[in-house]
Amino acid sequence: MAVISSPNASAIKVKFDQGTDLNGDRVIKTKTLSSIKSAASNEDIMAVVNALVGLQQHTLSAVLRVDNSSLSE
């Protein structure tokens, strides 16, 4: 039986480097942007992230795209 994959909304996890804590360990905070259209291009997503990063006081550490799909038969 064939399995059908249907894309759902994506999410973007933007990680910010907030320096070190009292023990000298790196502190990374993550902001999640949800309900991103699955058809959105990576270039468009990065353009939005870069615009948002300009409004933050902390340094961008990483950007992760999380795509979700529903499977059915």
Residues 20-50 have pLDDT tens digits of: 999 999 999 999 999 999 999 999 999 999 9
pTM: 0.81
**Of the candidates 53, 23, 39, the residue with the CA atom closest to the CA atom of residue 65:** 39
Q: Sheet with 59-66: list strands edge to edge.
A: 26-36, 10-20, 59-66
Output the average pLDDT for the chain.
94
Q: How far apart are CA 35 and CA 4, in angstroms?
A: 21
Task: Indicate the pLDDT class of residue 1, thresholds 50, 70 and 90.
Answer: confident
